[in-house]
Structures are given as C-alpha cells and as structure tokens.
Amino acid sequence: MLYYIFEFLQNNYDLPGASVFQYISFRAALAVITSLVVSLVFGGHIIRFIESKQIGEEVRDLGLKGEDVKRGTPTMGGLIIISAILIPTLLFTKLDNIYIQIMIVSTLWLGIIGFIDDYIKVFKKNKEGLAGKFKIFGQVGIGIIVGLVMVFHSDIVIKEDNSVIFNDINLDSNITPTKSSKTTIPFFKNNEFDYHRLTSWMGEDAKKYAWVLFIFVVVLIITSVSNGANLTDGLDGLAAGSSAIIGVTLALFAYVSGNIIAANYLNIMYIPNSGELVIYMSAFVGACIGFLWYNSFPAQVFMGDTGSLALGGIIAVLAILIRKELMIPLLCGVFLIENLSVIIQVTYYKYTRKKFGSPKRIFLMAPLHHHFQKLGMHESKIVTRFWIVGIILAVMTIVTLKLR
C-alpha cells in the first residue's frame, strides 16, 4: 500500500526520499520494525481480550512438571503472529505480486483452520478440536491451490541464463523467462532437479503431466511441515523461536533467488519478482520474535493451532515458491524429528501390542521434547538446546549455496 503511494509521489511530484521505497532492503527493515511493534504493543491488548473472554488452555494431565502452572494460560495467541505478519505485508509489499498474493492466502487459509480447531477446543469444550480429517482436507486444499498456481500462472517463471553485464541498467533485459518444473537439490554441483525426470521414462505424453506429481509433492510438504510445527508447539517459545530461525534462512534464500547479481554469483536459479518475499519473511521473523516476548518461559499466552499451523504452512509454501522445498528436511530438521518421534512411537507401540500383547515405547513420551521433560530436564534448557540445533541446521542449509 505505502509502496504505491510513494511510487506515485516519486513519479508525479519527485518527492525527495520517496525513491527509497523501491529498495527491498529498506522495506524489509520497515517490515521487521512494524511487526515487532504490532506484536509488542497490540499483543498485550489481544492477550487481555483473550483473558476477558476466558479463552484458556485446557492442559491435559500428562504427568509433566509445570502442567498446573500452564493450565488456564490464554491461547489463540496465533492471532498476534498473523496480525504482525499481515499488517507489514499489506503496508510495504507490492500487492500485485503473485508470490505475495499466494503467501497472504496461505496465511489466512491455515490460520482459519487453526482458529476453528482452537475455537472447538475452547468454546465447545472438546479437547480433540477439529477432526483430523478436516485439518488434512484443509491442508491438502491449500496445497492443491499453491501447486496449480505455480504450474499455470504466467508470472511464475525462472530465467535459465543468469549471465549478467554489470554496467547494464536493466541487468536481465535480455534473459527470456520460462515456465519450469525445476527445483533446487542441495549438495550437488549442478543443483537443479526437474520433476519431468520422474515421468520421462514413461514417454513424452507422461512427461507432460509431471505437474500432477509436483502438486502431490507440494501437498505432502505443506501437510508435513504445518503438522510438524503444530507438534513442536508444546513448550514455551519452542515453535516460535524455531520458526524465526527458519524464517531468517528463507529470507536470505528469497533475497539471493530474486536478485540476478546474487543468483549469478552463486550460480543458482534466478526467480524474477520473488525478492518481494524477503519483505514478507522479514515480517514473519519479526512476528515470531515479538511473540516470544509473551511466549517465552513462563508463557503469558500460547499460540495454539491458530499460530502453529499457519507458521508451518508459511514456511512450507515459501520454500516451495523459491524452489527450495527439497532443503526442508535439513532446514526444518527440528520439525522433522518431532514428527518422526510421534510416528515411531505410535508405530512401535501398535506393533509390540499386536506382536507381544504388551505395548512398549521407544521414547518416554512423544513428541520428542516431552521425552526430555520426562528425563527431568528443565523446559527452558530443552527449548534453548532445540534452538541451538535449529541454528546449526540453518547454517548447514545456507552452506549448501556453495558446498556442492
């Protein structure tokens, strides 16, 4: 919104300083500041409103230390995060950019699913919340939408040739944009993978329908990452802090992917117009950090599914848009191990019950962070160590830009 106002003032009145809004770095900085202000200033008001409506967390009796303290803590704090993301996005991004439009729709879509789940838990007094099949249906729905838009929208292209004449005013004027099913695969020299390869062996006709496989991958990633973030949201500050670390990394990838000079230098895929996503992710990081002001131990508010499903979905969708979805297992390793710990626990429990008649467990409790709680480790120490692991994974992901 403000971008267009200052563009108008620059073009029509040559207002001094108005041109600074053309720079992504400047708008990204404003987005961080604004998201922090929204989180810190309006977050307190939202928490008090939630408390006035007696929207408290119904903590299950899992035999964990500190459960009694958490019981009754306001939930639906994801409203703070979503507000702190969308307000800077609406103010500082180019709203006609297809990548920004996809991110706004994805944020609202998954936020609404999480809100419905929290609403059922709190107001309907149903601890199970929204039925799992409806959650999956919603996640699959947004996955199909994102996949179809990426396949068929004319503005979502890549430029195959990154050669640049640096003294040229329009650096990419002679590079032809093309539709492509390529993505980035880490740790390989020619680190591009084309989804067409997976169907080409079936003949040229089958190759044309590789987009169907691509949409399946998109759905799988969005569902997995959003559920992984949801499972990670079990300790004060864990999901928000982990998401902020991932967000910084994705903002860096969005910047180099949307900048032809950086893409040429790093020999990576150049994605025109994707640089606007840096502003979105700056707001995302600011929102997560601002939320930590209230969510760090001991938490004054929980994000609930309203926040966790949205955070995971945002991370997944943005990684897909900048063609970095195959890096998610590394970058989102904390979410992945939380997911896997639940799958392993449930599978082993059912297997041993059927095989031996007496069920057994691998972990003291799943997801994994509860296992460490059962071992007697303090909640803050668990969260800090998970953050450290997340930082290590983020650095390893960034290193893939050169290590191949």
The answer to whether position 193 is within a domain reads yes
Helices (H) and strands (E) in the chain, counts: 18, 4
Share in percent of the chain as helix, strand, coil (round to 5) = 65, 5, 30
The answer to whether position 185 is within a domain reads yes
What angle, rounded to 10 degrees, do the helices at 304-321 and 210-232 form? 140
Q: Which helix (H) or strand (E) holds 282?
A: helix 276-295
The answer to whether position 184 is within a domain reads yes
The answer to whether position 259 is within a domain reads yes
DSSP β-bridge partners for residue 177: 159
> Model pTM greater than 0.75?
yes
The answer to whether position 3 is within a domain reads no
Mean pLDDT in residue range 19-28: 90
Q: What angle do CA 231, 288, 317 make, to 5 degrees?
A: 65
In three state form, how does the secondary structure of 84-153 look? HHHHHHHHHCCCCCHHHHHHHHHHHHHHHHHHHHHHHHHHCCCCCCCCHHHHHHHHHHHHHHHHHHHHHC
The answer to whether position 395 is within a domain reads no
The answer to whether position 48 is within a domain reads yes
User: How far, in Å, CA of 187 to CA of 227, rounded?
Assistant: 27
Which tops the pLDDT comparison, 164 or 50? 50
According to DSSP H, which parts of 233-275 are helical?
238-258, 260-266
Burial letters 168-185, b for 16+ CB under 10 A, else e: eeebbeebebeebbbbbb
42-68 residue pLDDT tens: 888 888 888 887 666 665 556 666 566
Is there a contact between 291 and 80 (Cβ–Cβ < 8 Å)? yes
Q: For residue 310, give its domain range.
A: 26-325
The answer to whether position 229 is within a domain reads yes
Both tokens of 230, joined, read 């949801």
Q: How many domains does the chain have?
A: 1
Rounded percentage of the chain residues whose pLDDT exceeds 70: 90
Dihedral in degrees, nearest 10, Cα atoms 123, 129, 134, 140: 110
Q: Which helix (H) or strand (E) holds 381?
A: helix 379-399
User: How far, in Å, CA of 353 to CA of 360, rounded?
Assistant: 7
The answer on pLDDT for 252 being more than 50 is yes
Which range has the worst mean pLDDT, 3-17, 141-155, 168-182, 260-274? 168-182
One-letter amino acid identity for 287? A
Closest by CA position to 130, among listed 314, 342, 304:
304
User: pLDDT-based confidence at 206, cuts 50/70/90?
Assistant: low
pLDDT (0 to 100) of residue 54: 64
pLDDT (0 to 100) of residue 166: 43
Distance in Å from the first CA to the final CA of the chain:
40
Q: Can you tell me whether residue 183 is helix, strand or coil?
A: strand
The answer on pLDDT for 242 being more than 60 is yes
